[in-house]
C-alpha cells in the first residue's frame, strides 16, 4: 500500500508493474497477504479509530455548517458498534472464498498434441473511486488481492485521516508478504481523478462506489470501462391473480425495508383487474407505512373509491416524470397497464435495467415476462431488494452492474477476472491446416479440475445408469 503524493501517471505505472507480479502469485501467497492485513488492522484498531475521530470531528463541524450531510457523517463513523469488526471479518470472508483465478474453464483438442485451454486470470489494474466510507479501503484491498488485481483507490477527502491510518497499516502488513506494495495505491492528492480517468493505457477497469452523481461523472469522463450503475429504478408488475397477502409482503419489503437502496422499488405496475382485486390491500399497507403513492388516473380513481376516506385523502396524482425518477425515499409511482406487452414496453423504456419483478401465479405469463424484460435481474414472486451479492451467494460484492457486457447484476469476485487462451503444441503451424491439408479435430475435452464432470461418453453413461437405477428404486 503506497500512500502517495506521486503523480497519477507514476501511480498508474507502478500499479501496472505490480499487477504483473501479483498475477503470478499462488493462492496461498495471496491468502497469506489477506491474513497479514487482517491481523495488522485488528492490532491497529485504536490507531485507526483515533484517526477516524479526527475525520468525524471535522465532519461534525462541516455538518453543523451545512456543507456535509448527516448521513455522510454517519457513514464516516468506523467506531459504530460492530462496524470495525465487520470490516475485519470481511477480509477473512474474502480470503476464504474460492480462488477465482487460474481456473481452466474450457479445453479443446485442436489436433493431436495441440490443446487450447481457457484459463481465468486477473483483469490487471482497477481504479476504485469511492465516497466517505473508510471501511471500503479494507474491503476493496481484500477483493483486489484475492483476485490478483492491482488497485488504485481514491477516496473522499472527508475520510483522509482514516484512510492514511488504514493505508499505513496495510502497507506495513504487505511488506512482510509476497504481494508487492505497489499493487495497492492510495491516492489522496486533490483533483487527480480527471487525470487518473485518462490513463487507459495503465488502468483496465474503473469502479465508482457511491451515489448516482459520482457514477455519472465517472462514466462521462473516461474511456476506461466502468462497472456499475448510475440509477436504480426498479419496477414490479402486479397481476390481479396474485394473492393480496403475498403481494403486500413483497411490495412492502421492496419499497420500505431500505428505500435508499438501489434495489428499492420505485414503480408499481398493475393490470386493470388488479385495481379491484389485490391493489387496495397493497396500497393500504403502503400508506400505513408512510409511503406516498403517486397514481395514474385509473389507479387514482379506483383507489379513491375503494379505500377509506382518510387513506384516499393521502393519494396523489402522478406526473410523467414520476416514471423516470429514482425516489430513494418512501415514494412509489403506480401505473395501470392494459396488456402484458404494454408493461414490457414500459419497463424496458423506463426501468434502469437493474431489477424488475412480476407477481403472478401464471407460469406462462411470468416466463414470457422474465425473458422479455431487458434487465440485469428479473424476478418472479419475490422482492427487488434481493438483488445483492451476499444474498446471491457471492460472499461479497464489488457493486451492481447494469452494463450490457462483461458482468451484470451483483458482481462478485468473478467480475474482477477475465480469461486468457493458452495453446500448447508441438510445432504445429497454421499453414498445415485447411484446404488439402490437415483437419482440425476440435474435440471438447473435460475440464479435469472438476471431478464431478463426466470426462467421456462412457462416464456420462455411468451417470445415466445410476440415475435410472435410482428412479427405478423410487
393 binds a second copy (CB under 8 A): yes
CB of 386 to a second copy, least distance (A): 6
* C-beta of 191 vs 426, nearer to a second copy: 426
Residue 175: strand, helix, or coil: coil
Distances (CA, A) of 436 to 146, 426, 430, 431: 48, 21, 13, 11
Query: Binding residues for a second copy, how many (CB under 8 A)?
Result: 84
The correct pick among 10, 175, 288, 371 for binding a second copy (CB under 8 A) is 371
CB of 351 to a second copy, least distance (A): 13
Question: Restricting to residues 116-155, which ones interact with a second copy according to CB under 8 A?
Answer: 116, 123-124
Q: Strands 114-122 and 184-187, how do they pair?
A: unpaired
80 binds a second copy (CB under 8 A): no
Q: Are 136 and 182 in contact (CB under 8 A)?
A: no
Question: Restricting to residues 219-248, which ones interact with a second copy according to CB under 8 A?
Answer: 219-220, 223, 225, 227, 246
Question: Which candidate, 399, 416, 412, places its Cα nearest to that of 131?
Answer: 399
The correct pick among 99, 241, 253, 326 for binding a second copy (CB under 8 A) is 253
Residue 188: strand, helix, or coil: coil
Binding mask 304-343 for a second copy (x = CB under 8 A): ----------------------------------------
* C-beta of 313 vs 422, nearer to a second copy: 422
Q: How many CA atoms lie within 13 A of 391 on its CB side?
A: 13
* C-beta of 2 vs 120, nearer to a second copy: 120
- Helix boundaries (H) for 374-447: 389-392
The correct pick among 68, 138, 142, 250 for binding a second copy (CB under 8 A) is 250
How far, in whole angstroms, is CA 162 from its chain's centroid? 25
CB of 405 to a second copy, least distance (A): 4
279 binds a second copy (CB under 8 A): no
The correct pick among 182, 204, 266, 322 for binding a second copy (CB under 8 A) is 204
Binding part of the chain for a second copy, among 16-24, 72-80, 129-137, 277-285 by CB under 8 A, reads 16-24
- Give the span between the Cα atoms of 11 and 154, in whole angstroms: 11
364 binds a second copy (CB under 8 A): no
* C-beta of 117 vs 292, nearer to a second copy: 117
CA angle, 10 then 228 then 75, to 5°: 85
The correct pick among 86, 329, 459, 468 for binding a second copy (CB under 8 A) is 459
* C-beta of 260 vs 453, nearer to a second copy: 453
Q: Which residues are CB-contacts of 407 (< 8 A; sequence separation ≥ 6)?
A: 227, 401, 414, 415
Question: Restricting to residues 396-455, which ones interact with a second copy according to CB under 8 A?
Answer: 403-410, 418-431, 433, 440, 442, 451-454
Q: Which residues are CB-contacts of 401 (< 8 A; sequence separation ≥ 6)?
A: 227, 228, 229, 376, 407, 408, 409, 411, 415
Residue 448: strand, helix, or coil: coil
Amino acid at each position: 500500500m503506497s500512500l502517495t503524493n506521486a503523480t497519477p501517471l507514476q501511480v498508474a505505472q507502478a500499479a501496472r508493474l505490480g499487477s504483473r507480479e501479483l498475477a503470478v502469485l499462488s493462492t496461498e501467497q495471496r491468502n497469506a497477504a489477506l491474513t497479514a492485513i487482517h491481523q495488522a488492522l485488528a492490532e491497529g484498531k485504536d490507531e485507526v479509530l483515533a484517526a477516524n475521530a479526527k475525520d468525524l470531528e471535522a465532519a461534525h463541524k462541516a455538518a453543523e455548517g451545512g456543507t456535509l450531510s448527516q448521513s455522510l457523517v454517519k457513514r464516516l463513523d468506523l467506531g459504530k458498534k460492530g462496524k470495525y469488526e465487520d470490516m475485519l471479518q470481511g477480509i477473512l470472508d474474502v480470503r476464504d472464498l474460492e480462488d477465482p483465478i487460474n481456473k481452466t474453464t474450457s479445453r479443446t483438442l485442436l489436433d493431436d498434441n495441440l490443446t487450447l485451454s481457457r484459463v481465468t486470470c486477473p483483469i490487471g489494474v482497477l481504479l476504485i473511486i469511492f465516497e466517505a466510507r473508510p471501511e471500503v479501503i479494507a474491503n476493496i484491498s481484500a477483493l483486489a488481492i484475492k483476485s490478483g488485481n492491482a488497485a488504485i483507490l481514491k477516496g473522499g477527502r472527508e475520510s483522509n485521516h482514516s484512510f492514511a491510518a488504514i493505508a499505513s497499516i496495510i502497507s506495513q502488513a504487505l511488506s512482510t508478504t509476497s504481494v508487492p506494495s505497489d499493487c495497492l495505491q492510495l491516492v489522496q492528492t486533490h483533483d487527480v481523478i480527471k487525470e487518473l480517468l485518462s490513463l487507459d493505457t495503465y488502468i483496465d477497469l474503473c469502479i465508482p462506489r457511491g451515489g448516482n452523481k459520482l457514477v455519472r461523472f465517472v462514466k462521462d469522463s473516461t474511456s476506461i470501462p466502468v462497472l456499475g450503475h448510475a440509477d436504480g429504478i426498479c419496477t414490479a408488475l402486479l397481476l390481479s391473480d396474485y394473492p393480496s397477502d403475498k403481494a403486500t409482503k413483497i411490495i412492502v419489503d421492496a419499497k420500505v425495508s431500505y428505500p435508499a437502496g438501489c434495489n428499492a422499488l420505485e414503480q408499481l405496475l398493475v393490470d386493470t383487474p388488479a385495481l379491484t382485486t389485490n391493489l387496495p390491500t397493497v396500497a393500504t399497507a403502503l400508506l400505513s407505512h408512510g409511503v406516498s403513492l403517486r397514481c395514474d388516473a385509473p389507479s387514482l380513481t379506483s383507489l379513491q373509491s375503494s379505500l377509506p376516506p382518510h387513506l384516499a385523502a393521502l393519494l396523489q396524482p402522478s406526473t410523467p416524470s414520476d416514471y423516470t425518477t429514482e425516489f430513494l425515499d418512501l415514494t412509489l409511482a403506480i401505473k395501470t397497464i392494459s396488456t402484458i406487452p404494454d408493461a414490457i414496453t414500459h419497463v424496458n423504456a423506463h426501468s434502469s435495467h437493474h431489477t424488475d419483478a412480476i407477481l403472478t401465479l401464471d407460469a406462462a405469463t411470468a416466463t414470457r415476462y422474465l425473458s422479455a424484460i431487458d434487465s440485469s435481474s428479473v424476478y418472479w414472486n419475490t422482492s427487488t431488494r434481493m438483488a445483492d451479492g451476499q444474498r446471491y451467494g457471492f460472499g461479497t460484492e464489488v457493486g451492481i452492474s447494469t452494463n450490457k457486457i462483461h458482468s451484470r447484476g451483483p458482481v462478485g469476485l468473478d467480475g474482477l477476472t477475465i480469461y486468457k487462451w493458452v495453446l500448447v503444441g508441438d510445432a504445429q503451424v497454421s499453414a498445415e491446416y485447411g484446404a488439402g491439408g490437415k483437419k482440425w479435430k476440435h474435440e471438447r475435452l473435460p475440464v479435469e479440475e472438476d471431478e464431478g464432470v463426466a470426462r467421456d461418453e462412457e462416464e456420462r453413461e455411468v451417470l445415466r445408469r445410476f440415475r435410472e437405477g435410482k428412479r427405478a428404486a423410487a
